[in-house]
Structure 1
């Protein structure tokens, strides 16, 4: 509260005793204590000598009095001055000591003298006592004064604070009274502020909504002005289109607003007019550029110069406009995204129609410009096709893919989109694909097919398969890394679409026509029903001609198509197998109905079952070699269910005819290891159900049920043929063993057993010749068939009968 300097005004008490030291500094002789007082005045001064004694003691104990030393006149005189000073101090000390001793001796008064001295009165001086008390308590009194002063200050502060609190309390009461008096006024003010904010918000909303009404006049004046066509080449055009779009969207979202419907109609009309102006401006610009480019292309014969004019110069002239192309790109971007997918905004269909019209105009201009180049390429292709159709077709495909990539790149620069493959009806890909033109685009591959098919129509099936296989191996099968160039990706997409949309169907039609020509309606002479000897080690050399052609067609189809297309559910493979099986069944029926050969001739008759086994084994082996699985037709679910049920019904009957099952299963499972055309163990696998196949006789009569899996049908026929062949020859073996005289040298005419005019030796020789002719070069097959016949004969022998031939 107070600074330290405030307490320093009280002088130090101990400094007051300094004058007492020099009170008796003189050298006078003190009065003797034995002297009697000679008056009342002397009697009052008797107590004074005691303080003098204390003064003398203090003089003895205190340092010497300061004296002024003589100043030395020179350096040599300095020692003299010091010596005199020291000697003077010593004498003074001795003198003081002697005098002090004499003073104590003077006080030693004898008791006799003391008894005769008068008794001093005990005088009490209150003032002196107070002075002494003050002198002894001077320091504490100072602190007491300080504390008193501090207390007074603190009391003053407390009083001030109390007065301030009283003032504040009075102010609070005043404010409270004012607040109570002005509460209603404050409520009214708050209500006014709330109403002001509401009105302000309402005014802002009205102003914001009003702009959608006020823009009608401005847009109408701008679009109906005489020079409105120049707007499409300015940067303000897209801003106007954006504002019109916002106005249309606002009127659509607020149909309850006043005059919303007529304003909506007028805004839509203005938007359509603005987009129409853009179309007209874009067409005029393209026509101007196209006229110049077409004239220059027609004037030159150099292919490199034409290419430079059609792409480099065209791009340079088209993009010379100020803001026309950016406005076109902005309008297209309101209809489609960068991948060509359509937007679902309210006005997206309006922009989509405009974008499609712009696309149409662009391709029409490009077609006019590139017409001389396209015609020249077609003339070259036709000229090369007269020499080699396959080579000319390959060059034409490569050239078409390159031009399609260039056109797609130019289209992407023009409209800032790259349409990807899509089947959505509103996508840009479908819109561009619908423009059927002779010009190749990034989405239209129809011109390639339309130019290839007329030339390929006059060629053979092998040429078509070679071309389709080359496209597949060149563009679809190679595995490219992730860093493939855009041109490679574009060619891969074009090749896939060209094959899937055009060439595969075209090739399938050729295959079906060839199947009908060479298998279904093939003319089979009688000599073709015989199994001739194998020539040049080719197991297919003595096959049935329709079957041999079927094998060739299977190989051609497999080499020209991807594995995914020919492994399962291929209609071509299904028809090849179906028609081959039907042709074999017809041939088998002819063999069974034909009369036996003349005994006089040495011709070996053709066994119908062996004929069927031979050709079916070749078909089955070819399917396994080409890794072709189950081949289903496009039958409905009801037909497939019926076929499966019938297959389960015939499966137990087929299996029962192959007793004993374990021996036959182990026997035929070894066929998979043969190096020729014997199929694998799936032929006799119990896991695969047999098809509902008619017997050969029923098939000949035409009463069979058509199944939907050609592979199962083939397996079922093969099982039936093998069972019929082994059973029939097993019956011959059993009959020969039961006849008397088997194995004799010929004996008498009636002694030898007759087996239909032939003995066992001739029958065994006939069987060997028949198997050797059918399966020449395949001794394993011959041995397995003989072993199967022997096993069947043993079973018949144990059963006690032939079992029927």
Structure 2
């Protein structure tokens, strides 16, 4: 039993020993592994150290590579501008006349611009000034190539057109319109190419006079070629226009406006700028019409023809202000009015000269004839006058006085045909002279017929003048200067009143200072002058009519004023005693005479008004003040008689006088019976 027990311990011991040996082996392996790991860590640290060193070295190499790459790129970029010189010079020096038509030509010009700008910005670079000079030489060469091609092409097209015209000279089927179209078709065919090239030249002209000279050479060649083509055609066409006068001007302006419009559009189809040179060229073309019209204008003496010419020319000038956007080509528009302004000025100058002569001969110096004062009693003749005023001849009717008729006619021919200031001066002069002529004619009628006829004649024609001046939108005011001697006369009058100071030196010095004549401004308004004259003659007319109508009342009031009141009677110059009172019969007789005189006078005035004025409204305007003044005189008569009949200079009235209201109704009643 003990043996079995010992076997158990021995077995246990052997197992423990076995485990211990296994643990010792494990520990030994563990120490070996630790040693291996230690060696591995050392080797890893060594490798890591070398890797980091390699990484640092690579990064430095990459940075150096980047630096060198950037340096190379920068050098290549800078050298690229220098390297452009050779291919550009090679292209521009190539043989041939159509170098500028190559696709790369315009690109080369843009590259040249960049190279020149770069060289100007980097003048410190080596040989930059040399390269800048050579680049500019290449640019000048390129611009010269454009100029040579454009000039040769334009002239070649011109020669081709001339050759075509020579071949078609004997061809009767080729009309004028087809020949004219030939001048534009071939030029429009080359227009896109020419405009592209001239655009390249024109945008480089600023700051470069040599390029501007090249561009001007192209324009000169173009205008010279076009003028050589068109001059014979224009001359022949102008010779085929109307004989003279308005027809020639109308047709000539229409033809030249069409031609100039076509030339204007063709120019801007070929060139980007050059408006000043274009208008100089168009002015040369219109000079053919001007040279044809000017001698006819100088020798033309008919005012209506000159007025018609001015109207025609001004229509074209005013069209420049009313052109719409559709009429513009590429932002430009033709100002045709500026091209014919010199013709208009010649026509206006001759029109003003003839108008001045007409005003002095036919208005100021007009001598009236007996038939000028004859009245037409038909209303139709008066209406006919209004429609005939604008005819070519001013003497179309005798309803109005010829001087007035001439004034309105010349104003109608000058209105809107000359400058506003010139028209106002001439109109003011014509209206003033017309007013004076009417006044002289009125005085003649007063001497030959009666004062009433003279006044009505003047009223009628001043009314016509005033009404006919209304449509003229102008101030008929003349402003000028004149020498006033009022200070001189005032100083001399003062010196004459104080003769004691005559030999005083201070007085003479004061006279020299304050007595010098002065220049003063004067202003003459013809409209106001007409209104004042019309007002004065109307007041004079009303006063004369009233004085004649109330003459019995005036005689009665004078007679009454010469009488003395009761108790103060005294003999008159013949020694006869004055009457103390006036009887009722005297008063009644005066009233009857007044009614008869007023009715007769107003009837007569109404008849005269219808003969001269023939205007119901104006008739009422003149008759109404006459009626009121007559009633006012009768009112004074009525109150005087009423007052004096109560123990005064008039005996007591058995029957009352007609009242003022009765007289007013009586006048109105029979006046209405006279109404037409």
Q: TM-score, normalised by structure 1?
A: 0.49
Matched residue SS, 2:240: helix
Q: Distance in 2 between matches of 1:476 and 1:207?
A: 61
| Alignment correspondent of 1:463 | 305
Contact 2:119 2:132 in 1 (8 A): yes
1:577 to 394, 408, 427: 427
Q: How far has the Cα of 1:432 moved from its partner?
A: 0.6
Q: Cα 1:576–1:251, aligned 2, differ >3 Å: closer, same or farther? A: farther
| Alignment correspondent of 2:275 | 429
2:540 to 728, 732, 744: 728
Q: How far has the Cα of 1:250 moved from its partner?
A: 3.9
2:247 to 364, 382, 391: 391
| Alignment correspondent of 1:518 | 358
2:99 aligned with 1:231: yes
Contact 1:529 1:606 in 2 (8 A): no
Matched residue SS, 1:705: strand
Correspondences of 1:231-380 after superposition (within 5 Å): 231-232=99-100, 234-252=102-120, 264=132, 267-298=135-166, 300-301=169-170, 302=172, 304=174, 308=178, 311-312=181-182, 315-316=185-186, 328-334=194-200, 346=206, 353-380=213-240
Q: Distance in 1 between matches of 2:51 and 2:459?
A: 118
Q: How far has the Cα of 1:720 moved from its partner?
A: 1.7
Matched residue SS, 1:519: helix
Matched residue SS, 1:706: strand
Q: Cα 1:403–1:737, aligned 2, differ >3 Å: closer, same or farther? A: closer
Instruction: Give the structure with higher Rg (CA).
Output: 1
Correspondences of 1:529-568 after superposition (within 5 Å): 532-535=373-376, 536-537=381-382, 538=385, 541-556=398-413
2:578 aligned with 1:706: no
Give the gaps of 5 or more residues in structure 2: 1-40, 390-397, 482-518, 563-585, 591-596, 638-676
Correspondences of 1:205-224 after superposition (within 5 Å): 205-211=77-83, 215=85
Q: How far has the Cα of 1:617 moved from its partner?
A: 3.2
Residues 458-485 of structure 1, C-alpha deviations (whole Å, 9 max, x = no match): 44343354466568889989xx99998x
Q: How far has the Cα of 1:529 moved from its partner?
A: 12
| Alignment correspondent of 1:26 | none
Correspondences of 1:116-265 after superposition (within 5 Å): 192=64, 195-196=67-68, 198-200=70-72, 202-211=74-83, 215=85, 227=95, 229=97, 231-232=99-100, 234-252=102-120, 264=132
Q: Distance in 2 between matches of 1:525 and 1:374?
A: 46
Q: Distance in 2 between matches of 1:612 and 1:224?
A: 92
Residues 479-532 of structure 1, C-alpha deviations (whole Å, 9 max, x = no match): x99998x7x999x97696379745654554344234312225644234279972
Q: Distance in 1 between matches of 2:54 and 2:246?
A: 105
Q: Cα 1:200–1:510, aligned 2, differ >3 Å: closer, same or farther? A: same
Residues 91-112 of structure 1, C-alpha deviations (whole Å, 9 max, x = no match): xxxxxxxxxxxxxxxxxxxxxx
| Alignment correspondent of 1:719 | 531
Q: Cα 1:197–1:376, aligned 2, differ >3 Å: closer, same or farther? A: same
Residues 652-696 of structure 1, C-alpha deviations (whole Å, 9 max, x = no match): xxxxxxxxxxxxxxxxxxxxxxxxxxxxxxxxxxxxxxxxxxxxx
Q: Distance in 2 between matches of 1:236 and 1:314?
A: 30
Residues 66-118 of structure 1, C-alpha deviations (whole Å, 9 max, x = no match): xxxxxxxxxxxxxxxxxxxxxxxxxxxxxxxxxxxxxxxxxxxxxxxxxxxxx
Of 581-590 and 428-437, more deviation after overlay is shown by 581-590
Q: Distance in 1 between matches of 2:51 and 2:295?
A: 103
2:368 aligned with 1:527: yes
| Alignment correspondent of 2:577 | none
Give the gaps of 5 or more residues in structure 1: 1-168, 337-342, 418-426, 440-444, 640-701, 708-712, 754-758, 801-805
Q: Cα 1:262–1:316, aligned 2, differ >3 Å: closer, same or farther? A: same
1:780 to 617, 621, 638: 617
Q: Distance in 1 between matches of 2:456 and 2:201?
A: 70
Residues 401-432 of structure 1, C-alpha deviations (whole Å, 9 max, x = no match): 4444554565455x166xxxxxxxxx533231
Q: Distance in 2 between matches of 1:235 and 1:318?
A: 21
Contact 1:251 1:263 in 2 (8 A): yes
Matched residue SS, 2:432: helix
Q: How far has the Cα of 1:770 moved from its partner?
A: 6.4
Q: Distance in 1 between matches of 2:315 and 2:59?
A: 88
Q: Distance in 1 between matches of 2:234 and 2:216?
A: 24
Q: Distance in 1 between matches of 2:121 and 2:153?
A: 37
Q: Cα 1:603–1:180, aligned 2, differ >3 Å: closer, same or farther? A: same
Q: How far has the Cα of 1:706 moved from its partner?
A: 1.6
Q: How far has the Cα of 1:365 moved from its partner?
A: 1.6
Contact 1:461 1:511 in 2 (8 A): yes
Correspondences of 1:685-764 after superposition (within 5 Å): 705-706=522-523, 713-732=525-544, 735=547
Q: Distance in 2 between matches of 1:458 and 1:617?
A: 37
Q: Distance in 2 between matches of 1:358 and 1:410?
A: 15
Correspondences of 1:623-638 after superposition (within 5 Å): 623-624=469-470, 626=471, 628-631=472-475
Q: Distance in 2 between matches of 1:467 and 1:250?
A: 62
Matched residue SS, 1:527: coil
Correspondences of 1:92-107 after superposition (within 5 Å): none
Q: Cα 1:204–1:500, aligned 2, differ >3 Å: closer, same or farther? A: same
Q: How far has the Cα of 1:335 moved from its partner?
A: 6.0
Q: Cα 1:208–1:407, aligned 2, differ >3 Å: closer, same or farther? A: same
Q: How far has the Cα of 1:456 moved from its partner?
A: 4.5
Contact 1:468 1:499 in 2 (8 A): no
Q: CA RMSD in A?
A: 5.7
Please identify which structure carries the higher helix content. Answer: 2
Matched residue SS, 2:428: helix
